[in-house]
Amino acid sequence: MSDFELRMATTPLPEPPPGLRPAMLARAGRERRWRTVERAWRWTLVVAAGLLLVLNLHFSRVHEHEMIALIGPPGIERPLEAKVFVQSLEHRRHVLTAACSGDFPSALKEDLL
């Protein structure tokens, strides 16, 4: 170091005020406690939201089952009665054939409409 640098080094610089340390530590403690409370609230909200979703899902299932019990299962879940279904198709084919050939009796026409 040169003389100039040594001379500069012996010149005092301002020091941080002594009151800053305790004030800073007190504030850090307060903020830490506040962050802990905030984190607890945040997790409480997250758990509550999750619980709400699960309950919503559960009760929607319950409601669905109750509705099925009241009005019967949807068509796709009902067992197909093959004989009745084939008869219905045969009838419809007969009516359409009659309509195409011009032989369309009024009874069949009403039935079609």
Partner 1 sequence: MSEPDRELLGRLAHGDMEALGALYDRHARRVYHVLLARGLRDEEADEVLPEVFLALAECGRKLRGVEDALAYLLGIARHLAHRVRKQRPEGTPAAPEPESRDDDGTVAAMHLVRQLPVEQAEVVVLKVWHGFTFDEIGQVLAVSPNTAASRYRYGIEKLRAMWDEG
Q: Which residues bind partner 1 (CB under 8 A)?
A: 1, 4-5, 7-9, 11-17, 20-21, 23-25, 27-29, 31-32, 35
Closest to partner 1 by CB, 23 vs 40, is 23
Instruction: Determine the Cα–Cα distance for residues 105 and 113; give it in Å rounded to an integer.
Output: 12
DSSP letters, 33-44, are: HHHHHHHHHHHH
Closest to partner 1 by CB, 33 vs 93, is 33
List b or e across 77-93, with b for residues whose CB sees 16 or more CB atoms inside 10 angstroms: eeeeeeeeeeeeeeeee
Least spacing, CB of residue 41 vs partner 1, in Å: 17
Closest to partner 1 by CB, 15 vs 103, is 15
One-letter amino acid identity for 25?
A: L
Structure tokens at 6: 């040594």
Structure tokens at 84: 């009745």
Least spacing, CB of residue 42 vs partner 1, in Å: 14
Closest to partner 1 by CB, 5 vs 77, is 5
